[in-house]
Structure 1
Amino acid sequence: MSATRSAPVFAINHMVTPALRPQAFFELARAIGVRDVEIRNDLTGNAIIDGTPAADIGAQAAAAGVKIATINALQRFNEWTPEREKEAIELADYARDAGAAALVLVPVNDGTGQEDGARQANLRAALTALKPILTARGLFGFVEPLGFEICSLRSKREAVEAIEAVGGEDTFRIVHDTFHHHLAGEPALFPQWTGLVHISGVTDAAVSLSDMRDSHRVLVDGQDRLGNTAQIRALLAGGYAGVFSFEPFAEEVQQHDDPAGALSQSIALIKSQLA
């Protein structure tokens, strides 16, 4: 039996500081002692969407001494179409050429594709099609169930069952997002199946569970309502050995005048609570 890790290894998602250019973002990571980063393909006016070559991103990461854990994300991945296949190939090529380890896979999240039976079939069809694309490029696919009531993939168990059904154990893992885990209300954890953990907190005492949205997601602090520390502790105890990546969406975080200080404070708080 492998020993469990007691201390989390942190990463940061570019959503923490979406206005920073990649090089500055990578340098921010190193400034706070973080070696793993997630880059995104949905930041307007920023890489990847601005056409920055993947090789340039990889070189900047290497120069800063950080590793690109993922590109986040292939959207609507479980709605497999010729257009989605083209998008997946282009993004997987970019991930490979940038030196990323994995591609995050985000499901349809608009109220469609939720029907029982069709939902599972769509998921398995997409995983079956993605498997050779990812394998040929040496990438993992990280499936991210979302907790929103309108999402076509809310259950981590359903994701794991689909991965097993298509023989994707060597290619796919799931993302445990502490925000979405709380929203979905699915108590089960799958640490052995988890390839990535996204962490963020909600501190607004007035917002109801069903009304929580990305805009409420801040850095984890002492007023966190999502139980981040308990989730992190349980995942570590269960043998999860990947990174815990900060992914806040609230403007107050993204526009913070001292992101390094804010992130360092959150990291220190989580570590103290775990201790």
Structure 2
Amino acid sequence: MSGRIDFALNHMTAPRLESRALVDLAARLGCIGVELRNDLADKRLTERAFFDGEQPGAVGAYARSKGIRLLGLSEVYGFNRWSEEMRGKVRLLIDQAKESGAESISLIPSNDGADMLDDRRLGELRHALQEILPMLDEADIVALVEPLGFRTSSLRRKGEAVEAIEAVGGRHRYKLVHDTFHHFLAEEDAFFPEYTGIVHISGVVDPAVSAGEMQDGHRILITQEDRLGNVAQISALHAGGYKGAYSYEPFASSVHAAPDIEGELRASMKLVEAGIAAAGS
């Protein structure tokens, strides 16, 4: 594998930036796209509204004018706890994706630690996917399902997501998010590159935290001390035929407050590409 890969930026990388500024940053770094999020205010990372209060179409047009793809909009959280309220949330995000020209929406499973039998848990997952599928067909858009590797997650492993997608006949509309952090936490060996729509990358370096203790706040940019095996995961996905974007998604406050996020991202990208090149040599 050559060292050159297609990077992207999830808005979680620099939540203090407005959407247009994130697009500009991505363009300067040579990224292929960005992912915008509707939960930054909920996480108290900004006071700005989704799309910074602009019309989604205006932001999408600006990204395209800079040669940046709007890879996706995040997120509908807890989509597998289906209700009419959840239907409305999915519909709203689909409408915003269509208006902005975004290529996908993200569906995030509940991470509430609820204890339920697998039959019920997976049945609820299939039911939600079945309900959402005609909405995706009507809008001609893809939904990205992101298993969360936390032990409290209602969907930890990609294998279960793939089985549910196949069960509802949804392979043409559903893709997976392969998140290197969550893949590590889930201790899942399978990669499913043919189902993967995007890859989220971040690193963890703190030697004092065990895998079971890792949380989003530990996620920084990928460095030489990375414990998650990002280079190995990227190499495995590429070897399996995945050709999509690798989108930075660090949650750590230290990254969000970095005085030179552009420089730090550039250094991390070079390190990843060098690692990939070395792994393929």
Inter-partner Cα distance in structure 2 for 1:130 and 1:259: 37
Per-residue CA deviations over 1:141-185 (Å, capped at 9, x if unaligned) read 111000000000001100000000000010001111000000001
What's the CA shift for 1:47?
A: 4.2
Match of residue 157 from structure 1: 159
Match of 1:63 among 59, 62, 65: 65
- Secondary structure at the counterpart of residue 123 of structure 2: helix
Change (3 A) 1:237 1:47: farther
Match of residue 30 from structure 1: 27
Name the aligned partner's letter for residue 211 of structure 2: L
Number of aligned residues: 272
8 Å Cα contact 1:8/1:236 also seen in 2? no
How many percent identity over aligned positions? 46
Match of 2:259 among 257, 260, 263: 257
Match of residue 204 from structure 1: 206
Name the aligned partner's letter for residue 147 of structure 1: G
Match of 2:171 among 169, 172, 177: 169
Q: Are 2:34 and 1:10 equivalent residues in the alignment?
A: no
Inter-partner Cα distance in structure 1 for 2:113 and 2:18: 34
Change (3 A) 1:10 1:47: farther
Query: Is there any run of 5+ residues in structure 1 with no aligned partner, and where?
Result: none
Q: CA RMSD in A?
A: 1.4
8 Å Cα contact 2:76/2:90 also seen in 1? yes
Normalised to the residue count of structure 2, the TM-score between the two structures is 0.94
- Aligned ranges 1:17-166 → 2 under 5 Å: 17-44=14-41, 45-48=47-50, 51-112=53-114, 114-166=116-168
- Secondary structure at the counterpart of residue 117 of structure 1: helix
Change (3 A) 1:106 1:113: farther
Inter-partner Cα distance in structure 1 for 2:61 and 2:108: 27
Per-residue CA deviations over 1:59-115 (Å, capped at 9, x if unaligned) read 221232211001011110111100000111011100110110001110000112642
Name the aligned partner's letter for residue 169 of structure 1: R
Match of residue 241 from structure 2: 239
What's the CA shift for 1:49?
A: 6.8
What's the CA shift for 1:260?
A: 1.0
Where in structure 1 do 4 or more consecutive aligned residues deviate above 3 Å? 4-7
Normalised to the residue count of structure 1, the TM-score between the two structures is 0.96
